[in-house]
Chain A
Amino acid sequence: MRDFPLKTGSNAGQNTLLDIRNLDAHYGDFQALYGLSLRVQAGEVVSVIGANGAGKTTLMRSVSGLMRNQAEQVVWKGREIGALRADQIAALGIALVPEGRLLFASLSVEENLIIGGQMKRKGPWTLQRLYRLFPILQERRNVPATALSGGQQQMVAIGRALMSNPELLLMDEISLGLAPVIIKSIYEALPSITGEGLAAVIVEQDIAKALAVSSRVYCLQEGRVSLEGASSEVPRDAISRAYFGV
């Protein structure tokens, strides 16, 4: 559990890293996000929950630049970045662990990690440090990444994002399709990842997991924020209502 001072006012504090303001996102004619606002402070872990199709991945894609929107709708440390390309956003220090892992199949485990660090941003994460966190990856470093088990692939996906030494780590359903014991071991690794003040947005379907690892939670429903609050304070029945819309 973490405790960070919660900002509630509408004016962003000095420590606001990411400030999403009235974000609308579209797939062609289909609108997936409606005026969504979300804020992440430096060093804060925020969770985003919501049912299938609520718009969680669309939000991640919008922040990471895989979907480009109006410039002013995504603000990073006071700079409008909503219309930047994904590679420009990555260079600012925002890394995404994409839903479904999406490793590079023709790269080995180690190459997947190295390419994650190819921007050569300074910071604590190196191959050695990652191998200490996930020793199994060192053992299997020369294997094609997609030959690993699902859990090991997820470690590579997280490691690949960390290798860029980001200031904000976005994680989209890292437990998707994994066995419970594997999920548990990956979540046990999270504190040593976010421990040094790395801010994170964790998208998760498992509400209990999401609340346990975050200081604040946002619930999405049909492209809108249906609930927002401190993870330790929001009542469970309010979450159920916000989640399922009943």
Chain B
Amino acid sequence: MDWINTTLQGTLLGGLYALFAAGLSLIFGVMRLVNIAHGDLIVLAAYLALTTTVMLGASPVMALLIVVPLMAGLGYLLQRLVLNRTMGEDILPPLLVTFGLSVILQNLLLTGYSADPQKLQAGALETASLPVGGLSVGVLPLIVFVVAVLTIAALQWMFYRTALGRAFRATSDRQDIAQLMGLHRAHIFGLAMALSLAVTALAGVFLGIRTSFDPAAGGARLIFGFEAVIIGGLGNLWGTLAGGVILGVAQTLGAKINPGFQVLAGHIVFLVILAVRPRGLFPRMD
């Protein structure tokens, strides 16, 4: 029973990791951009939510109404004004620029908010739980998981059923030919980054409700997101969810064996999967 409970907690934690990962997966899929600052942007979203709750007295969940569009707008501008200038045949320049952005963000957060750990206060929601067949399931982790599933489903639908998704896929296939269809590449890239950071905002707010965070918290979130993407297979959104769950379960089971073992257990499972299936568990078919 204990192990089942642990596995369930790990699965729910995997939802949060899938939210870390989905935005990464999206921009890599559309424009082959690896965003080293992704984790720091998650933390930035958490801080923006903190400021919103403090200034407006709103709950963190209400803060999403402000933070999600704010991060989306930031993503669009970041892409159009900065990252697009670095995009080309060579993937190294955007990698370096996002690395620099990561450093800048951490220092700005440090200056603006100090190094003290912060947390988003969600009141009773944080401790509420549901009894499920002898197990007790936290309401918050359950909500996060459901949001993750809905987010992945929505992204999947957008990608395969809408004109915007078609434009994303066409641009991903052949940037030059996509332009011949009248698609303005810089704008399409901007929209992809906006969407990525909108998901990042969700991830950041739920991260901030679940655990405390500080300006240096982004690195680990980036790694967890990467691991989830790679485990699930590049370019497969449902695979990313599965990757998040596998990582979450590995970590909670590891922590149960030995509390110091949590993160390491996740890395080990990641490396084993990478060794056995270098393209991840569910790589896209083409």
Contact = CB atoms under 8 A, between A and B. Distances in A.
Contacts of A119: 181-182
Interface stretch (B47-55, B105-113, B161-169, B267-275): B161-169
B182 A91 contact: yes
A87 B183 CA distance: 6
Interface residues of B, number: 19
A104 B182 contact: no
Interface stretch (A109-117, A122-130, A188-196, A223-231): A109-117
B277 interface: no
Contact of B183 (A107, A118, A144): A118
Contacts of B173: 104-107
Contacts of A116: 181
A96 B163 CA distance: 21
Given A102-B174, A106-B172, A95 B167 contact: no
B85 interface: no
A118 B183 CA distance: 9
Contacts of B180: 64, 66, 86-87, 90, 95-96, 98
A151 interface: no
B142 interface: no
B176 interface: yes
Nearest to B177: A102
Interface residues of A, number: 25
Nearest to A117: B181
Nearest to B284: A106
Contacts of B166: 107, 111, 114-115, 118
Contacts, number: 65
Interface in B143-201: 163, 166-167, 169-170, 172-174, 176-185
Given A87-B185, A106-B286, A144-B286, A118 B176 contact: no
Contact of B169 (A66, A102, A106): A106
A132 interface: no
A66 B182 contact: no
B177 A87 contact: no
Interface in A58-82: 64-66
Contact of B184 (A66, A85, A96, A98): A85
Contacts of B163: 118
Interface in B221-273: none
Interface of B: 163, 166-167, 169-170, 172-174, 176-185, 286
The 4 lowest CB-CB distance pairs between A and B, nearest first, are A86-B179, A119-B182, A90-B182, A104-B173
